[in-house]
Each structure stands twice: as structure tokens, then as C-alpha cells.
């Protein structure tokens, strides 16, 4: 069933808001005036759009569609290989590590709590991050993602009394944020 025009409008506005955020975050690099190779610039634009669309969809549907996460992973493998950033085997191993880290967390959470707490879409998005950035960047992606999620939850809890430990919160936008920051500025 296709989304209603109101839902489509919300998704478009959220995507534009994420793109604006990503543009603001990349502004210091643009002001420096460093020459950026066209292939890296094109890859950056693609990554920003894919992360923004994924984040907007997750924000409203609490789902990260496979068509986006798997395409983003494949693109990351291609970009890493094409630009010579990493050997293909390393990008594949990094993607696998990203997936298995969050899939493992999801499995353990479900086992301990008896309910889902993290979707496999998040694991697939971290796999894409691994493909784009490499395994050594994944801890920084997770640091930015969990730190920004915690700040947002703390702010939301001050404004909304209905927020509880059982509230559903999308993690994809935070993973997208962390991935974008590490793509721009590198791991800590």
C-alpha cells in the first residue's frame, strides 16, 4: 500500500531536514577550500542522500528497508574499492563485523528482556557503515550514535512524560548521524 500524501510529505520534509543537518556538518570542510576529488564528492552526495532517506523512513515507520541498507552496503564496497580506500576483502569483513555486532546486541537484548529492542535494519545499516568506513571506524560511529541518541532521549524525557523504557525509538537516524560524522572527519 503506497503511503498517503501526508505521509509522503512528512518523509520528504524529514529527508530534507536530515540533508540540511548533513550540509551544516560538512560546512567546515567546504569553507577550508580543500580540493575534493569528483569521485569522493559524488560518493559523499550519494551517502548523504541515502542516509537521509533511511533516517526519515526509520523515524516514521521504525523500519530500515533492505533495499536501502543493502544498496548502501553494496555502494560502500564499491566506493572503498574504486577509490582505493581499502581492499575489497577488508570492506566486506568490516561490513560483516558491523552487522554481527548489532545483530548480537539485538539477540542478547531479546534473550534477556524477552522482547525486541533493536531491529536487524540497524545491524544492516551498521554493516553499510563498515563497508564505507572500515572496521576501525565502527566504534566511533557507535559512540556518536549512542551519545546523540542519549542526548535526544534525555531532552525528550524532559518534555514528554509518556516516554518510558518500553517506548519505541528509531536508532537509524543516530547511526546515520554517526556514519556521516565519521565519513567527514574520521574516527576518534
pLDDT in tens, 95-130: 999 999 999 999 999 999 999 889 999 999 999 999
Range of the domain at 31: 5-185
Cell of 135: 572496521
Angle, helices 38-61/5-32, rounded to nearest 10 degrees: 140
Cell of 52: 537521509
Mean pLDDT computed over every residue of the chain: 92
Residue 84 predicted with pLDDT over 80: yes
Could you give the number of structural domains in the chain? 1
* Closest listed residue to residue 57, CA positions, set 183, 176, 184: 176
Long-range contacts of 155-161 (CB under 8 A, 24+ apart): none
Cell of 88: 575489497
pTM of the model: 0.92
CA atoms of 169 and 118, how far apart (whole Å): 9
Amino acid at each position: 500500500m503506497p503511503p498517503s500524501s501526508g505521509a509522503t510529505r512528512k518523509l520528504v520534509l524529514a529527508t530534507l531536514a536530515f540533508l540540511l543537518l548533513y550540509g551544516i556538518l560538512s560546512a567546515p570542510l567546504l569553507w577550508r577550500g580543500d580540493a575534493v576529488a569528483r569521485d569522493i564528492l559524488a560518493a559523499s552526495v550519494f551517502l548523504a542522500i541515502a542516509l537521509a532517506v533511511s533516517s526519515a523512513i526509520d523515524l516514521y515507520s521504525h523500519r530500515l528497508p533492505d533495499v536501502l541498507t543493502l544498496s548502501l552496503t553494496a555502494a560502500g564496497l564499491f566506493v572503498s574499492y574504486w577509490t582505493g580506500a581499502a581492499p575489497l576483502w577488508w570492506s566486506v569483513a568490516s561490513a560483516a563485523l558491523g552487522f554481527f555486532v548489532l545483530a548480537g546486541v539485538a539477540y542478547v537484548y531479546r534473550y534477556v528482556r524477552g522482547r525486541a529492542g533493536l531491529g536487524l535494519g540497524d545491524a544492516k545499516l551498521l554493516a553499510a557503515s563498515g563497508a564505507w568506513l572500515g572496521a576501525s571506524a565502527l566504534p566511533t560511529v557507535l559512540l556518536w550514535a549512542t551519545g546523540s541518541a542519549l542526548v535526544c532521549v534525555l531532552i525528550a524525557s524532559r518534555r514528554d512524560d509518556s516516554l518510558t523504557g518500553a517506548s519505541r525509538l528509531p536508532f537509524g537516524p543516530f547511526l546515520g548521524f554517526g556514519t556521516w560524522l565519521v565519513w567527514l572527519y574520521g574516527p576518534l
